[in-house]
Structure 1
Amino acid sequence: MPKLVDHDARRLHLVKVTWRVIAREGIDGATMREIATRAGFANGALKPYFGSKDELLAASFQHVFNLTNERTEQSTAGLRGVEALRAFCHEVLPLDEQRILEARIVIPFWQKALTDPDKAQQHEQDMNQWRAQMLGYLQQARDDGGITRQLDDIQVVRHLLSTTMGAQIMAVLYPAEFSPAQQVEALEAYLEMLRQAPPE
């Protein structure tokens, strides 16, 4: 009787192996042969699941994005307003080894998205999801009186995305200058500014 193969499980296994290979050895070190070896497969066994390294990179990025979303869902459960916004940002910031490894996947994906319309569209869809969540938390914070500074909320979201996503690059390149404590301090300073009305 032929052996049954769970193709979805195998694809997920390959994605998990791929993003860890890329995170630790860089995009150039993540050859299809190396990924197959790490996954315990023959080199040609990857072709039915991913036709190229680019496809694996896109799937790995989506996996990392999904992991972040799972964490944000858990960390914001039961929270609203400023507290939910803070918890959300903490899950995007590279505050531990896991999230730094994830940043090492995000960075080469961004590079590919500069010239690949499909990857650019994938990234835009993901960011639109995050923007909608953050705008919702900001509206809650204004309703609750937790934010009183009169700024356009979309500008606030743009700043927070620039801060959190920029930290992914800086924490990988300059870990001593962008430690977890420094990242949290910078976020708190901005959230505190949002809470306070400007002096008249």
Structure 2
Amino acid sequence: MPKIVDHDERRLELVDATWRIIARLGIEGATMREIATEAGFANGALKPYFPTKDTLLTFAFGHVFNRTNERIAEVTAGKTGLAALRAFALEVLPLDEERVHEARIVIPFWQKAITDAEKAAIHRDSMEQWHGAILEHLTQARKNGDVSSAVGDGAIAGSLLNMLLGAQIAAALAPQGQVDHGLSDQLEGFLALLQAGP
């Protein structure tokens, strides 16, 4: 009887292998052959799932984004306003090895998105979704009286989002194994400024 292959599971195995290779060798070293070997597949076995490294990178970005959103949904459940905003940001920040590896996937995707309209659109849609979520938490926090900054919520949301994205770069460029970049303290400082008043 032929073995039943779970194609979704196999794609995720390939994404996990891609993370490990990029963490060790960088994006240039993440050849399809290296990824296949890392995942325990024959080189040609990748083609039905990801014809090119570009398609794999796009899928990996989507997987990282969706996985982050699942974590965000868990940690913000039952929270509103500033508490939800803090939980959201802490989940995006690369505060552990897993999220640093995710940053190492996201950054090569961004690099490709500079000249690839399809990838740029995927990034733009993803960030609009996050910007909207941040804005919603900020609006509630202001209604709760937890935000008194004279700066408008749109500008605050954009600043926080840029801070979160910049943290990905800082973490990815840090020495191997270093995961404490003071990001939690920086976030708390940012949130304190929102409560500082006009």
Give the TM-score range, shorter chain: over 0.9
CA shift at 1:172, angstroms? 2.5
Match of 1:74 in 2: 74
The answer as to whether partners of 1:82 and 1:138 remain within 8 angstroms in 2 is yes
The answer for the alignment partner of 1:137 in structure 2 is 137
Contact 2:97 2:179 in 1 (8 A): no
Q: Which runs of at least 4 in structure 1 moved beyond 6 Å after TM superposition?
A: none
Q: Are 2:5 and 1:5 equivalent residues in the alignment?
A: yes
Question: Whole-Å Cα distance in 2 between the matches of residues 188 and 3 of structure 1?
Answer: 52
Distance (Å, rounded) in 1 between the aligned partners of 2:2 and 2:168: 46
User: Could you tell me how far apart the structure 1 residues matched to 2:175 and 2:196 are?
Assistant: 31
Gaps of 5+ in 1: none
- Deviation, 1:175, is 5.6
Q: CA deviation at 1:2?
A: 3.0
Q: CA RMSD of the aligned region, Å?
A: 1.8
Structure 1 residue 181: Cα displacement: 6.0
Query: Could you say which residue in structure 2 is the equivalent of 1:20?
Result: 20
Aligned partner of 2:14: which letter? L
Partner of 1:106: 106
Query: Structure 2 CA distance, aligned partners of 1:157 and 1:41?
Result: 43
* Distance in 1 of aligned mates of 2:120 and 2:19: 19
Alpha-carbon distance in 2 for matches of 1:179, 1:5: 36
Whole-Å separation in 2 of the counterparts to 1:93 and 1:39: 27
Q: 1:192 to 1:175 in 2, by over 3 A?
A: farther
**Structure 2 residue 150 is the aligned partner of structure 1 residue 157:** no
- Matched residues in 2 for 1:171 and 1:6: separation? 33
Question: CA 1:10 to 1:171, structure 2 compared with 1: closer, same or farther past 3 Å?
Answer: closer
1:192 alignment counterpart: 192
Deviation string 1:16-72 (CA, Å, 9 cap, x unpaired) is 222222233211111111111111111111111111001001111111111211111
Matching residue's letter, 1:187: L
Conservation of the 8 A alpha-carbon contact between 2:104 and 2:172 = yes
Aligned to 1:121: 121
Mapped partners of 1:4, 1:175: distance in 2: 42
Amino acid of the structure 1 residue aligned with 2:81: G
Identity among equivalent positions (%) equals: 57
Residues 58 and 119 of structure 1 are in contact (CA less than 8 Å); yes or no, is this contact kept in structure 2?
Answer: yes
Instruction: Tell me the residue number matched to 1:87.
Output: 87
Q: CA contact under 8 A between 2:171 and 2:181: conserved in structure 1?
A: no
Distance 1:79 1:115 in 2: 39
Asked if 1 retains the 8 angstrom alpha-carbon contact of 2:81 and 2:144, the reply is yes
Counterpart of 2:58 in structure 1 is: 58
What is the aligned length?
197
For 1:45, the aligned partner's letter is A
- SS for the counterpart of 1:180 is coil
Distance across 1 between alignment mates of 2:133 and 2:85: 9
